Amino acid sequence: MKQVRVRFAPSPTGYLHIGGLRTALYNYLFARHNNGKFILRIEDTDRTRFVEGAIESLIESLHWAGIEYDEGVFIEDGKIVQKGEYGSYIQSERLDIYKKYVDELIEKGYAYYCFCSKERLDKVREEQKIKGLIPKYDGFCRSLSLEEARERIANGEEYVVRLKLPHNKDIKFHDLVRGDIIINTDDIDDQVLLKSDGYPTYHMAVVVDDHLMDITHIVRGEEWLASTPKHVYLYQVFGWEEPTYVHLPTVLNKERKKLSKRHGDVAVEDFREKGYLPEGLVNYLALVGWSPKDNKEIFSMEELIEEFSFERVSKTGGIFDKDKLDWVNGHHIREYDIDKLTDLSIPYLKDAGYIDDKFVKEKYSWIKAMVQTVMESISYLSEIPEKVEVLFDNKVELEDEDALNTLRGEQVPDILNAFKEELNEIEEIDEEFAKGIMKRIQKSTGVKGKNLYMPTRIALTGNNHGPELVNIIYLLGKQNILNRIDYVQENYLKD
């Protein structure tokens, strides 16, 4: 049996879209599940859309997501390198290969030269639309002899090469997600295979590359489904073994429309910058269009590899629900190694101006305790500065009227004074002090339960609810707490 070989073949036109990451992920999971090979190929034949740095960016995004490939284009020491026996893996470096196969198609009568101008093509399509027809090339140059075409080329006329599809022929193929598909050639355009700039179109290059690179399964978005008959026909006329096709459902927003920048974050980099963990994003993306057997929702990459199959991929578009992503990512945050999570959180705290390199060096354990304190309440790491803001401001801003009423309780002055007395007995707060102080205040004041803990929390944070009070006391430290109690007594407890 042939070894499974799949590829992810993005165009370097900008950021890696979240839908593109899911396509790469499904290719990766399928390859690993079947002990196959996963290849990264760069499809850069549309030179008008090429973006400098896009190759490096998409490779970095895949690496960040933990989607590692076996062959193709890599970055080493800041330079683009290629590894594998089937290179080049960059299409713009394979032009001679495509030209050879285009010439073969022309010689065998499966393709033809076309000299139609853009103006003529636009006019033809406009007339077809008016008549209610499918806009497509009308075959004006199909009947040109090879001799006449070559003479016109010799005279300097601009041309493209088109695929000569047979009339009224059913093209059949099987898709692992959608089943058997039949499309008649009368409903398909005579696709351009070679553009006037000498570069192949996607349709020509993808077939040649997938064949020469021994790709066994073509796993891509459903937007390519309508083009697949042209690709199938090319395989047939070349006499090549056809691969297995898998067309994935589109990633949609909640309104069931295709995810786009207009509706918010769609680039992998956007989610990375917000502080989503790669484990969380990958876990959630796997579920957008695929359902595991037992409706399990939390997966490691190893578990996804074990369970993944195309049999459970949906035919309909997968809804990208940010609330569900937040829930999944929050779960991974709470399971994460605390040292790694702290290291990932530090840049957000620096950007907020709360800490600097000196602070990190001197008080790393304090920062770790702070991250551990708020990790239960966040969905992504850029939320941390807002959650810890209360620790960096000695002013106590009350959450609401209820908080003020609680502070004005009859026993609150005694509680706060007892707290100050305890603090004045020590040099600094350690974990042992933080764990025992409330019991000592309870003993000295006789106040207990909610009547003790609620006003203390409000006096220290301004909020009715929040992280464990023990943690807050430890993190604030002696001087901060004294300052806050003074502020509360001065601003909220005086008549």
C-alpha 349/C-alpha 473 separation (Å) is 20
C-alpha 202/C-alpha 187 separation (Å) is 19
Identity of the residue numbered 356: D
Among 149-153, 260-264, 343-347, name the one with the lowest average pLDDT.
260-264
69: phi > 0 → left, psi -120 to 50 → alpha, else beta; which?
beta
Residue 265 near residue 287 (C-beta atoms within 8 A): no
Domain boundaries, the chain: 5-91+251-322, 94-248, 336-392, 401-491
Query: Which one, of 137, 136, 155, 139, lies nearest residue 147 by Cα?
Result: 155
pLDDT tens for 45-59 read 888 888 899 999 999
CATH topology (fold) of 401-491: Arc Repressor Mutant, subunit A (1.10.10)
Q: Does domain 5-91+251-322 have CATH number 3.40.50.620?
A: yes
Q: What is the pLDDT of residue 419?
A: 95
Burial 399-424 (b: 16+ CB within 10 A, else e): eeeebeebbeeeebeebbebbeebbe
Q: What is the pLDDT of residue 495?
A: 62
Query: Which one, of 494, 241, 471, lies nearest residue 368 by Cα?
Result: 471
- Assign 290 a pLDDT band (cuts: 50, 70, 90): very high
pLDDT tens for 391-443 read 987 788 888 899 899 998 899 999 999 999 999 999 999 989 999 999 999 99
Among 8-12, 107-111, 483-487, 491-495, name the one with the lowest average pLDDT.
491-495
Average pLDDT for the chain = 94
The mean per-residue pLDDT over the stretch 22-48 comes to 95
**Main-chain phi, psi angles of 430, to 5 degrees:** -115, 180
pTM: 0.92
Burial 52-69 (b: 16+ CB within 10 A, else e): eebbebbbebbebbebeb
Q: What is the pLDDT of residue 395?
A: 81
Q: What is the pLDDT of residue 466?
A: 86
- Residue located via tokens 């093509």: 121
CATH topology (fold) of 94-248: Rossmann fold (3.40.50)
C-alpha 152/C-alpha 48 separation (Å) is 27
Residue 42 near residue 9 (C-beta atoms within 8 A): yes
Residue 23 near residue 234 (C-beta atoms within 8 A): no
Instruction: Tell me how far the alpha carbon of residue 301 is from its chain's centroid.
Output: 15
| Collapsed DSSP state (helix, strand, coil) of residue 219 | strand
Q: Which residues contact residue 353 at a Cβ distance below 8 angstroms, ignoring those fewer than 6 apart? A: none
Query: Which one, of 69, 56, 55, lies nearest residue 23 by Cα?
Result: 69
Q: Which of 108, 129, 254, 261 is catalytic?
A: 261
According to DSSP, the β-strands at 160-163 and 111-114 are antiparallel
- Indicate if 94-248 has the same CATH topology as 5-91+251-322: yes
Among 123-137, 158-172, 336-350, name the one with the lowest average pLDDT.
123-137
- Assign 17 a pLDDT band (cuts: 50, 70, 90): very high
CATH topology (fold) of 336-392: Helicase, Ruva Protein; domain 3 (1.10.8)
Q: What is the pLDDT of residue 263?
A: 62
DSSP string, 327-369: HHHHHHHHHS-HHHHHHHHHHHHHHTTS--HHHHHH-HHHHHH
pLDDT tens for 244-276 read 999 999 999 888 888 776 666 789 999 999 999
- Residue located via tokens 């016109």: 152
Q: What is the pLDDT of residue 261?
A: 66
C-alpha 123/C-alpha 137 separation (Å) is 11
The mean per-residue pLDDT over the stretch 196-214 comes to 96
C-alpha 425/C-alpha 431 separation (Å) is 15
Specify the DSSP class assigned to residue 389: G
pLDDT at 308 over 80: yes
| Collapsed DSSP state (helix, strand, coil) of residue 307 | helix
Residue 89 near residue 42 (C-beta atoms within 8 A): yes
Residue 13 tokens, joined: 């036109």
Query: Is 350 designated active site?
Result: no
Q: What is the pLDDT of residue 264?
A: 67
